[in-house]
C-alpha cells in the first residue's frame, strides 16, 4: 500500500513537471555536463535516436521535478556517432576535450562503446551504455565503463532452459560475424552442457552486411542438415533480413523451430508489420518489464510529447515502451541521482603537461570529478522504469527473462525464467509440472505441437546404412549375394537388433543397407564412411572406442564389453590322492565330526536307562556312541530306539546327514569331472616368456593393443572365422598354429558355444572396452532416440529372442566360459550349512535338557536317598564329588519302570524263577532266557564299571558271592522285590544269584 501511494505520488509529480515544463537551474545549482552519443546516420537510426533523446530528456526533467531542491543540475549534450566506431570516438573526444563532460551516455553498439570506454577510462569520465550488451565488452578491463543493460551471456541459461523443455538435443546457432555475435557462444555452449540439453551441431557466422544471395546460400545449406532447431543471435537489422529470406526458403513452416535472443524480443518496436509477418512463430527472450502504473504513465506522456515535438515525423510510437527505452530512461535518472549524491562540483579537468602532444587524444585532460561520480553511480539503487536498478561489477542485474511468441503484429508472453525457479508459466510458481512449463506456443506453420527438432531423411531421401562384409562370424552380419537379385541379402544379429529398434521409433525412417567390402581390413574405414558423410549410419559389430567417438556419435552398446583370450585344454594329471577331502573345508570337517559325536552322546544318554541295546561294558558303550552316529551316514543304524525324545533327535540329524552327503557327492563329482581338463596356458606373461604364437581377428582393433602389452608382431597371426580359431588352437605353436586367440567377448562366447566339448577355454583377465554400438554422425539427435529404444529392447524379451536365434540357448558351456576349475572347484564351507547345524544342535540340546529334567523329577526320592547315603559314608573326595558320584551311579541303573525292563522282570518272576534255571552255582553264564547284554554286564571287570554297581547276594543263605559286599544292595530294589513276592508265590532258589544293574 505504501509503495502504491509512493508510485502515485511520483507519477503525480511527473505529470505536474510535464505540464509546467522544464525547470530552469537555480542560482545555487551546480551544472553537471553529460554527453549523449546517438546514431543519426540513417532514417531508421534517426527515428530510434529521436525516441532515445526524448526519453533521456524526460528522465532528467522528471528527476528534478521529483527533487526540486537538488544542488546539481544535469546538462545534456548530444552528439552523432555516424553509425561507426570512428564517428563514436570523434564524438567522445569532442565531448571530453571541448565540452568537458563529466559522464557519457552511449553509444549504441558494442564496438562503438568499447572504443569510447577506453577513452573514458583514460580521461576518468564514466561511460554508461544502455545498449552495448556484448560479453566481450568487460567493465573489468575498462573500469570507467558501466553497462546499464543486461549482458548477453545472462540469457544463455534461459535459452538452454527453453531448448531443454522441448527435449531438443541438437541445434544450429546462426550468429552475427562480429564481436557482438560471437560473444555469446562460450556461455551458450556451457549452458547447454550444464542442463544436459541440446548440443551445438553447427555454428554459422552470418556477415553483418550479407545480402539476399549470401543469406540464401547459408539457409539452403542448413536445409540439408538434419537439425530443424535454430538459435539466432544477431542485431535486429540483420535478424529481420535473415527471417525474410528464411520465409522465402520455406524454413518458416511446419517442422522448424526458431529461437531468437533478446536482440529480437527487445527491439520489436523497430519492426514493421511486413517484418513481423515473416517472423511468425519465432520464440524470443527479453528482460521482463512489469507494466506498472508508473510505466504506463511514462508511455502516455512519451507519446504525447513525441508527437508534440515531432509532428512531421511519420514514425509510429503507439507501441508500449520497450525495455531499451526504459533502460535509457533509468540510465539518465541514475546519473542525475549519482551527481546529487556525490555532490559533484562543476567541470574540472587537469590538462596533461605534454609538450609532444600531436593529436587530440594526447591533449585529453583528466576529470577531477570522474572517480567520485563513478563510485556514486555504482552505489546507486532505485526502482526504475525497467525494474530494480542495481549495478553489480559494473553491470545491470536482470531479475527475470520473459519468453515471448511472435503472433500476428505483436507478441504473446508464454513463460518466464528466473535464476531461482527456472522456466515457469508466471512468477507465481506452483508445485506441479504444468506450472513449470511454457504456455502453448504457435510454431512456424501455425501449428501448436512442438517440432521434433530434426529430420531423419533430409529432403525425403532414403538413408544409407553401411554394413561390414565379413569373412567369418557371420552370425553378427552376413552379406549374401543371391542369383537373379540386384541387392544382397543382409542378415545377422546386429541387423535384427537395428531393424527392431528402428521399428519402435515413434517416427518412420526410410533406409537401406549398403555393404562395405573393405571393412575386413579395418573397421576404422567403416567409421570414416559416416564421419566423412558418404553414409548416414553404420550398423554391425563396431566396437565403441574413445578414438572413434571423436569423429562419430555412438549409441549405447547392445552387447557385452571387453576382450580376452581363449586357449586349448589338456587332461589334468595332477589330481591329488586326497582329493576326496577337498569338497569340504577344514572347519566343516571338524564341525561335522563334533556334531556326530554330540548326537551319538545325546541318544546314548536318553536311551541308556531304558534300552538294553545301549548298555554293556564301558568299551561297548563308548563304541556304540560313535558307531550309532556314524552309521547314520549310510542310514545303516539298526538299534531300536525306545524314547520319543531320542527318535526326534535322530530324525533331525538324519535330515542334516542327508543334506551333507548329497552336497559332498555333488561337489566331489564336479571336481573330478571339471578338473579333468586344464588350460594349456593360464597367463599372458607365460605366452610372452615362451615366445608362443597368438591369433586375433582380422579387421579388429585389438592388434595395436597386443603390441602395446608386449607381444611381438612376428608372433601374431590373423584369422577370420571360428573354424580357423579351432584349427589353429588344436595345432598349437609347434605345428604352425597358435597357443592363444585374443578377441572380444561376444566373438569368444560364440566360438565356445560352437565348441562345447571342453577342448577350449577362456582364461586370463578381461580387458575393458565398450561393446558394439551403432554409428551416427557427430551431433545426430537420432543417436539418443536409438539408444533409448535399445534400452527398451533389452528390458523386454525381444532382445533375448534375437540372441537365442543366433547364439542358441543362454547359459550353455558355462565351464568353458568360467575359467580354470569351473564352478565345481569351490569347496563347501561351514557357513553354507550353519543353519542346519544350528537346528540339530538346538534340538539335541533341548531334548537332552528335557530328558534330564524328567529324570531328576521322577527319581527325586531315590536321588535324595542316594545323596544322604553318600554324605553319610566315609570316602575319598569332597561331599560334592560324592553326591555327583551317587547321582551317576543311580543314573547308570536300569529304569525298571520302563515298559522294556518291566515286561522282562514280570516274566522272570511269574515263571517260577525259570530265568535262573540255567545259571550254575558258581555264577556262570545265564541261559538263553537272559539277555546277552545283561550277561555280558555281569562278568565284565568283576561285575563293576565306572558308572555301575554290581551287587550279588545268595538270597537263600543270606550271603553274597566272594568279593561283593551285600551291603551294596539297593534298598529301593528290595522294596520292589518284596512287592513282587506279595503278588506272586515264589520259592527262592537256594543257590540263585540276583544281579542288579
pLDDT band, residue 441 (cuts 50/70/90): very high
Average pLDDT over residues 521-548: 88
pLDDT for residue 586 is more than 50: yes
CA distance 38 to 108: 7
Pairing of strands 127-129, 103-105: parallel
What span, in angstroms and rounded, lies between the C-alpha atoms of 328 and 389? 12
Taking a C-beta distance cutoff of 8 angstroms, is the pair 904, 931 a contact? yes
- 3-class state of residue 584 by DSSP: strand
pLDDT digits (tens, 9 = 90+) for 177-195: 988 889 899 999 888 888 7
CA distance 300 to 297: 5
pLDDT tens, 258-316?
A: 999 998 988 877 788 888 899 999 999 999 888 889 999 998 999 889 888 888 765 55
Binning pLDDT at 50, 70 and 90, where does residue 5 land?
very low
- Confidence check: pLDDT of 917 > 60: no
Residue 248: burial class (beta carbons within 10 Å; 0-12, 13-18, 19+): middle
Q: Which of 233-242, 329-338, 388-397, 900-909 has the lowest mean pLDDT?
A: 900-909
What's residue 194's pLDDT?
Answer: 80
Tell me: pLDDT of 979 over 50: no
Q: Among 6-15, 233-242, 516-525, 808-817, which stretch is predicted with the lowest mean pLDDT?
A: 6-15
Rounded percentage of the chain residues whose pLDDT exceeds 70: 79
Ranges of beta strands (E only) in 798-892 are none
What pLDDT, on a 0 to 100 scale, did the predictor assign at position 649?
86
- pTM of the prediction? 0.57
Is there a cis peptide before residue 169, judged by omega within 30 degrees of 0? no
Residue with cell 553378427: 476
* Model confidence pLDDT, tens digit, residues 807-848: 877 655 554 444 444 434 456 888 888 888 899 889 989 988
Question: Do the beta carbons of residue 567 and residue 817 sit within 8 Å?
Answer: no
Instruction: For residue 231, give the H/E element and its range.
Output: strand 229-233
Mean pLDDT, residues 719-724: 88
Among 119-123, 453-457, 642-646, 655-659, which range has the highest average pLDDT? 119-123
Q: Which residues of 331-361 are buried (b: 16+ CB within 10 A; e: fewer)?
A: bbbbbbbbbbbbebeebebeeeeeeeeeeee
Is residue 329 over pLDDT 90?
yes
Q: Give the Å distances, CA to CA, from 676 to 191, 762, 764, 844, 913.
A: 62, 16, 19, 42, 70
CA-closest candidate to residue 200, choices 259, 274, 124: 259
According to the model, what pLDDT value does residue 378 have? 94
Angle at 364 between CA 361 and CA 366, to 5 degrees: 140
Distance CA(561)–CA(547), nearest Å, equals 16
Lowest-confidence pick of 325-334, 503-512, 776-785, 811-820 = 811-820
Give the C-alpha separation, 175 to 231, whole Å: 8
Q: Is the pLDDT of residue 95 over 70?
A: yes
Written as nine digits, the cell of 964 is 561283593
Contact 979, 971 (CB under 8 A): no
Query: Please, what is the angle between helix 43-66 and helix 2-20, to 10°?
Result: 110
Residue of 394, 159, 141, 153 lying closest to 258 (CA atoms): 159
From 176-185, 356-365, 708-717, 789-798, the region with the lowest mean pLDDT: 356-365
- For residue 518, what is its C-alpha cell? 573393405
- Confidence check: pLDDT of 980 > 50: no
What pLDDT was estimated at residue 819? 45
Q: How far apart are CA 975 and CA 953, in angstroms?
A: 15
Query: Rounded distance, CA 799 to CA 789, Å?
Result: 11
pLDDT at 635: 67
Mean pLDDT on 253-257: 90
Q: Which three cell numbers stand for residue 64?
A: 528534478
CA atoms within 13 A on the CB side of 899: 3
Neighbours of 235 (CB within 10 A): 18
Q: Which residue has the cell 560334592?
A: 880
- Distant-in-sequence, close-in-space partners of 549: CB < 8 Å, separation ≥ 6: none
Report which listed range, 127-136, 363-372, 928-937, is most confident.
127-136
Question: Computed from CA positions of residues 866, 869, 874, 878, in that sequence, does the dihedral angle turn out positive or negative?
Answer: positive
Cell numbers representing residue 449 in the block = 505441437
Closest CA to 697 of 734, 733, 751, 736: 751
Model pLDDT, residue 752: 86
- Average pLDDT, stretch 515-539? 86
Q: Quick check: 652 pLDDT over 80?
A: yes
Angle between helices 971-983 and 860-872 (to 10 degrees): 130
Distance CA 598, CA 636 (A): 18
pLDDT digits (tens, 9 = 90+) for 933-966: 333 333 333 333 334 433 333 333 333 333 334 3
Helix (H) or strand (E) holding 176: strand 170-176
- Please give the mean pLDDT across all residues of the chain: 79
| Mean pLDDT, residues 624-652 taken together | 78
Q: Decide if pLDDT at 43 tops 60.
A: yes
DSSP class of residue 921?
A: T
Q: Is 410 helix (H, G, I), strand (E, B) or coil?
A: strand
The DSSP line for 422-491 is EEESSSS--SSTGGGSPPP--BTTTB-SPP-SB-SSGGGPPEEEEEE--SS-TTT-EEE--TT-SS-EEE
What's the whole-number mean pLDDT along residues 622-632? 77
| pLDDT tens digits, 54-75 | 999 999 999 999 999 899 999 9
pLDDT confidence band for 466 (50 / 70 / 90): very high
* pLDDT, position 434: 55
First-residue to last-residue Cα distance in the chain: 112
Query: What single DSSP character describes residue 270?
Result: G
Q: Distance (Å, rounded) from C-alpha 188 to C-alpha 848? A: 81
Amino acid at each position: 500500500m505504501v509503495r502504491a501511494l509512493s508510485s502515485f505520488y511520483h507519477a503525480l509529480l511527473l505529470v505536474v513537471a510535464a505540464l509546467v515544463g522544464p525547470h530552469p537551474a537555480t542560482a545555487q545549482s551546480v551544472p553537471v555536463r553529460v554527453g549523449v552519443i546517438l546514431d543519426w546516420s540513417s532514417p531508421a537510426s534517426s527515428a530510434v535516436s529521436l525516441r532515445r533523446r526524448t526519453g533521456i530528456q524526460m528522465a532528467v526533467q522528471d528527476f528534478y521535478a521529483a527533487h526540486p531542491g537538488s544542488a546539481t543540475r544535469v546538462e545534456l549534450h548530444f552528439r552523432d556517432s555516424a553509425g561507426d566506431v570512428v564517428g563514436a570516438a570523434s564524438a567522445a573526444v569532442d565531448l571530453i576535450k571541448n565540452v568537458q563532460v563529466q559522464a557519457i551516455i552511449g553509444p549504441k553498439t558494442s564496438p562503438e562503446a568499447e572504443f569510447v570506454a577506453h577513452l573514458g577510462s583514460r580521461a576518468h569520465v564514466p561511460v554508461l551504455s544502455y545498449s552495448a550488451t556484448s560479453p566481450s565488452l568487460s567493465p573489468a578491463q575498462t573500469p570507467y565503463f558501466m553497462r546499464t543493460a543486461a549482458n548477453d551471456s545472462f540469457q544463455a541459461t534461459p535459452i538452454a532452459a527453453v531448448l531443454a523443455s522441448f527435449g531438443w538435443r541438437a541445434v544450429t546457432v546462426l550468429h552475427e560475424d562480429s564481436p557482438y555475435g560471437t560473444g555469446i557462444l562460450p556461455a551458450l555452449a556451457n549452458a547447454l552442457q550444464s542442463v544436459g540439453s541440446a548440443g551445438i551441431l553447427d555454428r554459422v557466422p552470418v556477415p553483418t552486411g550479407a545480402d539476399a544471395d549470401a543469406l540464401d546460400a547459408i539457409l539452403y545449406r542448413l536445409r540439408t542438415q538434419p537439425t530443424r532447431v535454430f538459435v539466432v543471435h544477431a542485431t535486429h537489422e540483420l535478424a529481420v533480413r535473415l527471417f525474410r529470406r528464411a520465409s522465402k526458403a520455406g524454413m518458416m513452416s511446419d517442422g522448424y523451430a526458431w529461437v531468437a535472443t533478446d536482440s529480437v524480443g527487445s527491439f520489436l518496436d523497430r519492426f514493421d508489420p511486413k517484418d513481423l509477418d515473416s517472423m511468425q512463430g519465432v520464440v524470443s527472450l527479453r528482460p521482463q518489464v512489469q507494466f506498472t502504473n508508473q510505466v504506463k504513465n511514462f508511455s502516455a506522456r512519451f507519446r504525447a510529447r513525441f508527437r508534440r515535438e515531432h509532428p512531421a515525423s511519420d514514425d509510429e510510437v503507439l507501441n508500449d515502451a520497450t525495455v531499451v527505452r526504459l533502460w535509457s530512461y533509468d540510465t539518465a535518472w541514475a546519473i542525475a541521482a549519482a551527481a546529487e549524491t556525490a555532490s559533484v562540483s562543476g567541470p574540472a579537468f587537469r590538462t596533461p603537461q605534454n609538450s609532444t602532444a600531436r593529436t587530440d587524444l594526447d591533449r585529453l585532460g583528466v576529470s577531477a570529478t570522474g572517480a567520485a561520480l563513478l563510485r556514486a553511480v555504482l552505489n546507486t539503487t532505485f526502482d526504475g522504469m525497467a525494474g530494480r536498478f542495481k549495478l553489480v561489477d559494473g553491470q545491470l542485474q536482470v531479475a527475470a527473462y520473459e519468453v515471448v511468441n511472435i503472433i500476428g503484429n505483436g507478441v504473446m508472453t508464454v513463460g518466464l525464467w528466473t535464476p531461482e525457479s527456472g522456466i515457469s508459466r508466471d512468477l507465481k510458481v506452483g508445485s506441479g509440472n504444468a506450472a513449470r512449463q511454457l504456455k502453448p506456443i504457435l510454431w512456424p506453420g501455425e501449428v501448436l505441437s512442438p517440432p521434433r527438432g530434426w529430420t531423419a531423411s533430409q529432403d525425403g531421401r532414403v538413408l544409407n546404412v553401411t554394413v561390414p562384409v565379413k569373412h567369418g562370424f557371420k552370425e553378427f552380419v552376413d552379406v549374401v549375394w543371391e542369383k537373379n537379385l540386384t541387392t544382397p541379402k543382409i542378415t545377422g544379429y546386429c541387423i535384427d537388433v537395428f531393424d527392431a529398434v528402428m521399428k519402435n521409433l515413434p517416427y518412420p525412417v526410410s533406409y537401406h543397407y549398403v555393404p562395405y567390402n573393405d571393412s575386413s581390413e579395418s573397421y576404422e574405414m567403416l567409421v570414416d564412411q559416416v564421419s566423412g558423410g558418404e553414409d548416414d549410419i553404420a550398423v554391425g559389430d563396431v566396437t565403441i572406442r574413445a578414438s572413434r567417438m571423436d569423429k562419430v556419435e555412438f549409441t549405447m552398446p547392445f552387447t557385452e564389453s571387453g576382450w580376452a583370450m581363449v586357449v586349448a585344454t589338456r587332461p589334468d594329471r595332477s589330481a591329488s590322492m586326497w582329493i576326496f577331502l577337498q569338497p569340504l573345508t577344514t572347519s566343516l570337517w571338524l564341525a561335522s565330526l563334533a556334531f556326530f559325536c554330540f548326537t551319538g552322546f545325546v541318544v546314548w544318554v536318553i536311551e541308556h536307562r531304558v534300552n538294553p541295546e545301549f548298555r554293556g561294558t564301558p568299551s561297548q558303550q563308548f563304541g556304540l556312541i560313535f558307531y550309532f552316529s556314524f552309521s547314520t551316514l549310510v542310514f545303516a543304524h539298526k538299534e531300536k530306539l525306545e524314547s520319543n525324545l531320542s527318535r526326534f533327535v535322530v530324525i533331525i540329524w538324519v535330515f542334516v546327514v542327508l543334506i551333507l552327503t548329497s552336497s559332498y557327492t555333488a561337489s566331489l563329482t564336479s571336481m573330478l569331472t571339471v578338473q579333468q581338463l586344464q588350460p594349456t596356458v593360464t597367463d599372458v606373461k607365460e605366452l610372452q616368456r615362451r615366445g608362443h604364437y597368438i591369433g586375433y581377428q582380422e579387421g579388429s582393433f585389438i592388434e595395436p593393443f597386443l603390441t602395446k602389452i608386449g607381444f611381438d608382431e612376428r608372433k601374431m597371426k590373423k584369422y577370420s572365422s571360428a573354424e580357423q580359431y579351432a584349427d589353429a588352437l588344436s595345432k598349437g605353436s609347434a605345428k604352425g598354429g597358435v597357443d592363444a586367440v585374443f578377441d572380444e567377448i561376444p566373438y569368444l562366447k560364440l566360438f565356445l558355444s560352437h565348441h562345447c566339448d571342453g577342448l577350449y577355454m577362456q582364461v586370463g583377465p578381461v580387458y575393458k572396452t565398450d561393446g558394439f554400438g551403432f554409428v551416427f554422425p557427430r551431433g545426430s539427435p537420432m543417436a539418443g532416440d536409438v539408444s533409448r529404444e535399445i534400452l527398451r529392447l533389452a528390458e523386454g524379451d525381444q532382445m533375448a529372442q534375437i540372441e537365442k536365434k543366433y547364439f542358441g540357448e543362454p547359459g550353455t558351456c558355462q565351464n568353458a566360459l568360467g575359467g580354470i576349475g569351473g564352478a565345481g572347484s569351490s569347496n563347501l564351507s561351514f557357513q553354507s550349512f550353519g543353519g542346519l547345524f544350528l537346528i540339530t544342535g538346538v534340538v539335541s540340546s533341548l531334548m537332552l535338557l528335557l530328558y534330564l529334567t524328567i529324570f531328576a523329577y521322577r527319581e527325586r526320592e531315590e536321588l535324595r536317598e542316594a545323596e544322604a547315603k553318600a554324605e553319610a559314608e566315609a570316602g575319598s573326595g569332597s561331599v560334592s564329588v560324592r553326591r555327583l558320584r551317587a547321582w551317576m551311579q543311580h543314573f547308570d541303573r536300569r529304569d525298571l519302570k520302563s515298559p522294556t525292563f518291566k515286561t522282562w522282570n514280570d516274566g522272570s518272576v511269574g515263571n517260577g524263577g525259570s530265568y535262573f534255571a540255567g545259571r550254575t552255582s558258581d555264577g556262570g553264564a545265564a541261559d538263553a532266557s537272559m539277555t546277552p547284554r545283561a550277561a555280558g554286564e555281569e562278568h565284565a571287570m568283576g561285575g563293576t564299571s565306572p558308572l555301575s554297581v554290581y551287587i550279588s547276594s545268595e538270597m537263600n543263605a543270606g550271603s553274597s558271592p566272594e568279593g561283593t559286599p551285600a551291603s551294596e544292595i539297593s534298598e529301593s530294589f528290595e522294596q520292589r522285590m518284596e512287592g513282587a513276592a506279595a503278588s506272586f508265590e515264589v520259592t527262592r532258589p537256594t543257590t540263585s544269584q540276583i544281579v542288579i544293574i
